[in-house]
Structure 1
Amino acid sequence: MKKKTQGEILNQMSDREVSLQLILTQLIILSLSLIGSVFLFDDLLEGWASQLHPDVGEIFYFGVLPGLLVLFIDLFLLYRLPRRMYDDGGVNIKVFRNRSALSIIGLTMIVAISEEMLFRGVLHAEFGYFIASILFAVMHLRYLTKIVLFISVLFVSFFIGFMYELTGNLLVTITAHFIIDVVLAFWIRLGKWGE
């Protein structure tokens, strides 16, 4: 029996089922970050509090501006490269194409918070820049066979990790991650992806 491709599996799932899978994945990632912090941080509350600096200037310069730079590069490449090079198997389109604006904002915020808590807040803080950045890229399994997408997520991972390296501020990385995801999600929602 022939193994189904990711696209074939996605076509059999409703938008709701795909969204539920994404939310479940994010809850698992969030749980891993909380469990990891219990075992790895000397002081749980201090471990998290020391990474959350509500410094507006720092968030703007190391979160907002880098997020916008990544978006500019992504959108430039999206319109310069053949569409197949940016095709993730239809996952992002399935998740965001028919979603309300409020739902897009909420979902991309959940993704940014949970992933940054695990990869920067726990893994980067405890094991370093390189390991956390590589693991973040590898976690995006569907990109491993798409060289442009994999290089893109690897670049984003190291770039956001570098912003964390400079600031030690999880709010910076959450902001950058959220900006990238929410704008690309709205780009998909508006039907601009791949045009």
Structure 2
Amino acid sequence: MKQSELIKQLSNKELRIQLFFSQGLLLLAAVVLSFFLFDSFFDWFHLFSWNPREMIIFGLLSAVLIVLVELSVMYITPRKWRDDGGINELIFQNQPISFIFVFTLAVAICEELLFRGVIQTTFGYVFASILFALVHIRYLKKPLLFLAVLFLSFYIGWVYEYTANLIVPIVMHFFIDFLLGLVIRLKK
């Protein structure tokens, strides 16, 4: 059975539980792996620094630019090229904005802690970027979507490399997902 068919069978409450459960698994993986791959659990503290300038330039402004490119691609390409089986619509379309905010924040934190914080820090930029794209399995059969998530993964990874600050990719990832979630939610 396809992922989209499974999601359609869930109630709104069950869908929310499953979405947060999946993010909890990623967070758990990040924490557990850090015990094995970091010299000390306190290595986490070296990955974060409060730099509003980087957060705005590389986080927020990059996210807005990426969303504008994504919207342009949505406008000029056929829907079948970018259809993920309706999963994003099922996740965002009938949800309150508060849910979209909290969920996309959870996704950004959990995925970036795992993929940039643990995997990229330990195994490198290229491996983490490719693995991040592959984990978004529903995009593998759609070349445009896969290339988009692969490009995005490499860009987020580069931003982390450049800033050496895990907060920045978290901010970028959050704003990309939140803004695109709003587009889906508010689209008539």
1:30 aligns to 2:30 (yes or no): no
Distance 1:90 1:17, change over 3 A: farther
- Check if 1:55 corresponds to 2:85: no
* Corresponding residue number in structure 1 for 2:145: 149
Q: What percent identity do the matched residue pairs reach?
A: 44
Per-residue CA deviation, residues 36-59 of structure 1 (Å, 9 max, x unaligned), is 1111111211x1111111100111
CA contact (8 A) 1:134 1:154 kept: yes
Q: What aligned pairs does 1:182-193 form with structure 2 within 5 A after superposition? A: 182-191=178-187
Cα drift, residue 18 of structure 1: 2.5
- The aligned counterpart of 1:168 is 164
Q: Of 96, 101, 108, which residue of structure 1 is paired with 2:97?
A: 101
Counterparts of 2:53 and 2:33 in 1: how far apart (Å)? 30
- Give CA-to-partner distance per residue, 1:79-126, whole Å, 9 cap, x none: 110111111111111111111111110000000000000000000001
Give the root-mean-square deviation of aligned CA atoms. Answer: 1.2
Instruction: State the alpha-carbon separation in 1 of the partners of residues 44 and 18 from structure 2.
Output: 27
Query: How far apart are the structure 1 equivalents of 2:142 and 2:71?
Result: 17
Q: Deviations over 1:11-62 (max 9, x none)?
A: 32223322222211100000000001111111211x1111111100111122
Figure out how many residues of one structure are paired with residues of the other and give that number. Answer: 188
Q: Indicate the SS of the match to 1:112.
A: helix
Partner residue in 1 for 2:74: 78
Distance 1:20 1:84 in 2: 29
